[in-house]
Copies of this chain bind each other. A is one copy, B any other.
Amino acid sequence: MWSAMSETTSTAPTSADVARLAGVSRATVSYVLNDTAGGRVSEKTRLRVRAAADQLGYVPHAAARSLRAGHTGLVLMAAPEITFGPLFNEFFAELRAGLRDHGYTAVLYGTRGDLSGREIARAWAELRPTAVITGVTDDLTPEGVEILRRSGTRAVLSLAERPVPGAHSLLLDQSAVGATAGEHLVARGHRAIGVVMPTDATLRRFSEPRLAGVRQAAAGARVEPLALDYTESSAAELAARWRSLGLTGLFCYNDEYAALIQAAFQDAGIAVPTDAALVGADDLMLARVLRPRLTSVHVSLPEGIALADLIDRLIREPDTPPETYRIGDATITVRDSS
């Protein structure tokens, strides 16, 4: 029964309040509510305690508990400020579920870009997380890793395209994406390949290794980086000078950029795939709703469950030397654009 509306003065009920109402000690309340020490408390008392807790709407105080326990079950995940699309969202959701099954609480903790590596690390360290997974956008410096470890963080992982010294690395091998696209285009006979490079600075960490991957796979062919804003006008401009570039294939960074370009090419009378063979990446639904349908490279992220198991192991063995786990398999789905 929810008795009265919350008064302003309502201070949260504590275990002491529960104890008082049930006529027992705080220790007993703790035993009962945590199912500790089986059978040490009589059935009758347990019922009284439970009833009292219920009546007061008692909820334990996580901060007090973890202060006493010496550890929080918190796994902090860096929250990207930019969108990575449905792929990442689903991945995070799965990972969170997996961690919860191991008894951890996963939280997306966001920071703005205007904090230095040290400040970010300190902000995280204040929460005394059990583990930290730094995302793709955030800069975790070696110094930051050290700050976290000193403050008791047992595992620091970086999910990025290059390793952070001192931290375990889940290396998202972006160059494999480019390489897969490059191989495909070369196999189709293309010897002059353009690579779209978004001017967006936050994407550089992806675009550059992807370019390198194309270069490596298309050794011997001409590979030309082409800067592009994510705007219609920028795409139109690229379309206008396409014929003069002498290229036949184009790796478009991802499906969204590819869609933009395909539309501009269409407007300019450049036929896909005959005048330009297009390859996107991420294999979004978008690739299937365009006409012609888009060939796309897909990066499979690791199963959230498996990753949760790994994190749990690293937490339990905090002295495991930093290791690099290569994740993400690149596979290509060939459709009508190439």
Contacts and interface: CB of A to CB of B under 8 A. Distances in A.
Interface of A: 2, 6, 8, 10-13, 57, 59-64, 66-67, 72, 79, 81-83, 85-86, 89-90, 92-93, 96-97, 100, 106-110, 112, 122, 125-128, 143, 146-147, 149-152, 230, 232, 256, 259-260, 262-263, 266-267, 285-286, 288-291, 318-319
A128 B93 contact: no
A289 B260 contact: yes
A6 B125 CA distance: 15
B256 A126 contact: no
A289 B260 CA distance: 5
Contacts of A90: 83
A89 B83 contact: yes
A288 B85 contact: no
Contacts of A266: 291
Nearest to A122: B59
Contact of A291 (B109, B256, B263): B263
Given A146-B2, A262-B289, A152 B12 contact: yes
A6 B146 contact: yes
A275 to B, nearest CB: 16
A12 B86 contact: no
A90 B109 CA distance: 15
B151 A59 contact: yes
A286 B59 CA distance: 46
B256 A285 contact: yes
Stoichiometry, copies per complex: 2
Contacts of A262: 289
6 contacts: A6-B146, A10-B149, A63-B63, A63-B66, A64-B67, A97-B112
Contacts of A149: 6, 10
Nearest to A89: B83
Contact of A85 (B6, B81, B83, B100): B83
B230 A285 contact: yes
B319 A126 contact: no
A284 to B, nearest CB: 10
Most chain B C-beta atoms within 10 Å of own C-beta, residue among A122, A149, A289: A289
Nearest to A97: B112
A171 to B, nearest CB: 22
Contacts of A319: 8
B62 A126 contact: yes
A285 to B, nearest CB: 7
Contacts of A2: 143, 146
A151 B12 contact: yes
A228 to B, nearest CB: 13
Given A6-B146, A63-B67, 6 more contacts: A57-B150, A59-B125, A63-B72, A82-B89, A107-B110, A263-B289
Contacts of A150: 6, 10, 12-13, 57, 59
Given A86-B83, A289-B259, A147 B108 contact: no
A143 B108 CA distance: 26
Most chain B C-beta atoms within 10 Å of own C-beta, residue among A2, A57, A125, A128: A57
